[in-house]
A and B are shown apart, each in its own frame.
Chain A
């Protein structure tokens, strides 16, 4: 998060730290990492071809 530090310059405006109002609410949510690659994905096997052609609902 960005924090601004005020100068001692006489003409500098009083800037409130961004953290006081800019930060989104803290409400963590779990995001499990997805598996989208397999080791054998690069090889076009007969079964992978069948999986490709047959919609999941029909399998």
Chain B
């Protein structure tokens, strides 16, 4: 039986140091909070607030420590071995479901040409789970155009399932069961993924050089964002994510992540490790495993295959949500998938780190609800606090005033804010020091972009908190969110759409602020940073879905468009001008049947 290499000391040190930083920060925050709240005696609210601030601060400090670890570790691209003959048979898998076929297949055409330029022979298989017959017919028409464009007969395949069992994971599993024997390696993409042929070649060479690697994940950069929200995410993914990912890569050793796409797998390893069963019981906790990628990474590691992430490998791209609603819709699915992992925490044979990754994924969502509980507990504690007793002793001559703990609370507030924003400014200095700042528009623009991203995320944080809390509550109440199709492309929202989607947040914020103002006016000022964005939710949802300015959030990928991205744009524009899928082809299709 295969076994993962033993944990090396450096990785163990990184894990312990990061956990220790989180524990110390959380303890310090709890001490400050408890010290400030027990001045009028200890009650249940003080204990509750202490526990909640311990958990939330530990989570924030964990993220900050990850960034610091990424900053401390040097940027060292993994030496790329060269591809040797015979080249392992490789297939690029593109699972799709109700996507725009022109965009998706134009990406495939661009990647096919890029693979050819890189000198890597590879097949491409489009795995459709599209159910709508009209969409399916359009896919077939554009597929014919793709074959014509690329001369891809015998290399580029298309098959459509009528039984969508297992959704995306089931789609890939179906391919491996029927055709996996023909390939040694498979690159797994999403419909919006784009990868340079040279990058895929490097991945294949790395898999060829180290036959213990079961999965190699790249860090995809977001491209083609247009809205203010989308471009802020695109900037964060390009500016901050590599550092966070570097920190993550140092901690996880051989038990790395799988993010579901822009990764390469060893087909045999995947086949012997990753056939996922349905969980007992109905959704949301039972049924198909939604966040299958985390589970597949854990199962590969369980079978002794290395799962690695290489954040230094460029040429890996994806598209992101263009507005808050698309983001929240995707988040709802991820939330349900991650909470479903509570069923797998004690799965037999998993590496300890894999279990810890599940815990992190669960925490990423329940932490919003914990913050909400903390805010509610703080308000209730103030309302229920006893009146100050200035003369606790009988016949006391002079009054005793309670100690003022404003300084401690302010220190706590600043500490929490610091955990959120200090890593981002440290990354700014690091990027400037490494000479990469020009790609982000120079020092001034990059600094302005970082500051604007911080302000934007501060405004959006209470709105995200509400969406995530609602998602967690829905899942806990047993409501299945299903698997809605991704909405890609332009996502400009009107104010009416913003009102429709965000009015419940405005209402909640208005009620909270009114209640606090009348019952505990001292707290009003403290709650404004949370309540004001909630009141403005519809406006923020609508306005951030617009392009606003392109002066900020410049990324290197935007300044110097990658060849495969440029090729995609040109093919896409040409196909659109040719009116693909064209009417003449559809005339020939009176009927199609599936078998």
Contact = CB atoms under 8 A, between A and B. Distances in A.
Interface of A: 1-7, 9, 11-15, 18, 21-38, 41-42, 44, 48, 51-57
Contacts of A14: 588
B348 interface: yes
Q: Which 9 A-B pairs have the closest CB atoms?
A: A27-B181, A29-B180, A27-B182, A7-B590, A31-B275, A24-B157, A12-B588, A24-B179, A36-B347
A9 B346 CA distance: 62
A27 B239 CA distance: 43
A41 B587 CA distance: 56
Interface of B: 3-4, 6-7, 123, 125, 136, 140, 143-144, 147, 153-154, 157-160, 173, 175-183, 267-268, 271-277, 279-280, 295, 299, 343-349, 351-353, 355, 584-585, 587-595
A29 B295 contact: no
A1 B7 contact: no
Nearest to B303: A34
A29 B267 contact: yes
A20 B450 CA distance: 53
A34 B173 CA distance: 13
Nearest to A11: B587
Contacts of B182: 24-25, 27
B159 A6 contact: no
B347 A41 contact: yes
A57 B7 contact: yes
Contact of B352 (A11, A12, A41, A52): A52
13 contacts: A2-B592, A5-B590, A7-B591, A12-B587, A21-B153, A23-B157, A29-B177, A29-B179, A31-B176, A35-B277, A38-B347, A57-B3, A57-B4
Nearest to A43: B346
B276 A34 contact: yes
Contact of B587 (A9, A23, A42): A9
A56 to B, nearest CB: 6
Contacts of B588: 4, 6-7, 9, 12-15
Nearest to A8: B590
Contacts of A3: 592-595
Contact of A24 (B178, B273, B277, B593): B178
Contacts of A27: 178-183
A24 B125 contact: yes
Contacts of B271: 29-31
B352 A56 contact: yes
A1 B351 contact: no
B343 A37 contact: yes
B150 to A, nearest CB: 12
Contacts of B276: 33-34, 36
A36 to B, nearest CB: 4
A43 to B, nearest CB: 9
Given A29-B267, A34-B277, A36-B295, A2 B140 contact: yes
A54 B181 CA distance: 37
